[in-house]
A and B are shown apart, each in its own frame.
Chain A
Amino acid sequence: METYQIYSLTSAVLFVIGIGGVFASRHFIKKIIATIIMGGGVFLCFVSFAERDALSFADPVPHALVITGIVVAVASAAFALALARRIYQLTGEESFTNDK
């Protein structure tokens, strides 16, 4: 198995763990962490595809995309955390109940 394949497979595993976590858990923070794990998987996948056989150096485009993607993901996660914190301050709840 080549090195990049290990990374690609790991990325798929991370993605599945993340998407499972988003749907399975109820706690706000657990859900948010799950989306971050999903993001980690996706970015690892991008970076692992940067290897090109014909070139001696890595393909720069995926790296540029991943940087942008990380910025977006951080912004979303920060926003989600802010919302979760606000809900906790207003209601004292920290997870989704069935009817909400």
Chain B
Amino acid sequence: MKDLPTSLFPALLVGLPVLFATLSLFFRTRGKALVGLTGCLLTAGLSLIAFVEVTQRGTVIHILGGWEPPLGILLRMDSLAAVFIGMTALVGVFISLYAWRYFRAQEATTGGFPLFWPLWLFLWAGLNGLFLSNDLFNLFVTIEVIGICAVALAVLSGKSGALFAGLRYLLAAITGSMAYLFGVALLYGSTGTLDLGLLGQVLEPGTTTTFALLVITLGLMIKMAGFPFHFWLPPAHSSALAPVSALLSALVVKGAFYILLRLWMEVFGVSLTYAAGQLIGLAGAVAVIWGSWQAFMQTSLKLIVAHSSVAQLGYLLMIFPLLILAPGVTAGSADWLSSAWTAGVYQVMSHAFAKASFFLSAGIIIMALGHDRIESLRDLVGHMRITALAIGIAGVSLIGLPPSGGFIAKWMLLKGIFLSGQWWWAPVVLGGSLLTAGYVFMLLRLAFAPAREKEPFRPVPKSLEVCALLLALGSFLIVLPADYLIQFLESSEIFGSGIESIVEGGADGND
């Protein structure tokens, strides 16, 4: 690890947003927004430059302050981390631009929520730190930074509904991170190291490891709102301000998923059995069906979109049963691993773009109507063509129709499912898409329906609509570099790897 090329970028990716977040605290309303937006644009630019750097030089590392691990902190940017950082930058920059215009438009009545900017930049630093971390404790610190910033953003409006949802979210987040930390303590106690790579080599199967795996998975499932711990997500995401909802659902929940993926694939290989994979896949499958069904039953737009997040996160959990191989199958002969990984990465990206666009569109509609009951979406097409288009395009990506990013994700998932012979997951993928189509078309049907009465659509800045539309288009454009992106990801050690089941002993399962 230490002989990899060193680069300054990993440190800057965390340091720059922290710097601008702190700077912005010294300014008043307008100044905060200006410094905040500048910080966002610079961080996004830096992320993209760092992405290019990794495509050219391969995995780069940075040892903070020259203190080598285990005392110091080593940041490592491999291609998987680079893709997540690049995605955060692209989605983040559009949400930032939207937030700038959105808060500006409401400044007179609400005060413009200046605290959004430092919190969002701290959150961004936390996310970048999480993707770059290479040890268990650093992951804990970054996920706590993310958790606290995310809750603070969620309660920014100060309304009692948002506060209730925020407190529930915070308690779930604290419980999740304490469970995670308990697992970290057990792992440190049994191995004496926190480094992911080293742990993967020295960890031995046994009761302690299994128990650590159990509590860590439990903690991360609470954090990423995996079924049955999704209870906090719909109220928290639907009661937040529009740009915040977009950030929370597009980026924040992906952080916990990223840790789960890294830990299962890099560290816990020795303790995972086929049954463990099936069990977490089952949790994902139930989430897909339950979340989509709940979304279908809602009557307000933001609750539909929030419940749909539960379902879309379920798809992410469904790649785990494909990555853990049945006893007797070797990683060399399992030709579906690459499909499953592609499905996972594309599901993360297409959901980030599409869901951000969906929430931003919902914000535009609330701005125009003052509420988001879906009955009032009648004749949306006549009044707000661009927003209706954004909802349509983002919806198509969520359903998984070609040629969207969602299509690649679901197609690759199905391909992996059939190649691995685990056909029982296929009806869930298809059923989930069908239910998603149900609620997306319900929205579109209303959008095209003639208005019963004149709803007072207030004028909304065009630039807001354009931001939402560009994000929706993003969920399609990510398909274009698919070949290149997968080739790039394959240079990462972890991408395309699978876990060969141990024949006996180890975990009996977990959720």
Contacts and interface: CB of A to CB of B under 8 A. Distances in A.
Contacts of B141: 68, 72
A100 B152 CA distance: 19
Give the interface residue-count category, chain A.
35 or more
A72 B144 CA distance: 7
Contacts of B152: 79
A44 to B, nearest CB: 9
A91 B185 contact: no
Interface stretch (B80-88, B172-180, B266-274): B172-180
B263 interface: no
A18 B178 contact: yes
A66 B119 CA distance: 25
Interface in B353-405: none
15 contacts: A15-B178, A19-B178, A39-B178, A45-B182, A45-B189, A59-B192, A62-B188, A65-B188, A73-B178, A76-B173, A77-B174, A80-B171, A86-B158, A87-B164, A90-B160
By secondary structure, the B interface counts as helix
Interface string B166-203: 11101101110111011001101100101000000000
Interface of A: 8, 15, 18-19, 22, 28, 31-32, 35, 38-39, 41-42, 45-46, 48-49, 59, 61-62, 65, 68-69, 72-73, 75-77, 79-80, 83-84, 86-87, 90-91, 96, 100
B171 A35 contact: yes
Given A68-B137, A91-B160, 5 more contacts: A45-B182, A72-B141, A76-B170, A77-B174, A80-B174
Contact of B168 (A46, A86, A96): A96
Nearest to B193: A61
A38 B148 contact: no
B34 to A, nearest CB: 27
B175 A38 contact: yes
B325 interface: no
A24 B163 CA distance: 21
A25 to B, nearest CB: 10
Contacts of A80: 167, 170-171, 174
A85 to B, nearest CB: 10
Interface string B138-170: 001100100110011001001010011011101
B306 to A, nearest CB: 15
A15 B211 CA distance: 13
A83 B175 CA distance: 16
Contact of B188 (A19, A49, A75, A86): A49
Contacts of A42: 178, 181-182, 185
B481 interface: no
Interface of B: 70, 137, 140-141, 144, 147-148, 151-152, 155, 158, 160, 163-164, 166-168, 170-171, 173-175, 177-179, 181-182, 185-186, 188-189, 192, 194, 235
A36 B93 CA distance: 37
A72 B173 CA distance: 12
Given A45-B186, A49-B189, A76 B174 contact: yes
A84 B160 CA distance: 11
B118 to A, nearest CB: 15
A79 B189 contact: no
Contacts of A49: 185, 188-189
A28 B185 contact: no
Contacts of B170: 76, 79-80, 83
A35 B175 contact: yes
Given A19-B179, A79-B151, A46 B166 contact: no
Contact of B148 (A61, A68, A79, A100): A79
A73 B155 CA distance: 19
A8 to B, nearest CB: 8
Contacts of A86: 158, 163
Nearest to A61: B70
Contacts of A41: 182
A18 B176 CA distance: 12
Contacts of B140: 69, 72
A8 B211 CA distance: 14
B275 to A, nearest CB: 24
Contact of A76 (B148, B163, B166, B182): B148
The 6 A-B residue pairs whose C-beta atoms are closest, nearest first, are A49-B189, A38-B178, A45-B185, A46-B185, A83-B167, A35-B174
A58 B170 CA distance: 34
A35 B178 contact: yes
Contacts of B137: 65, 68
Given A90-B163, A96-B168, A76 B144 contact: yes
Nearest to B70: A61
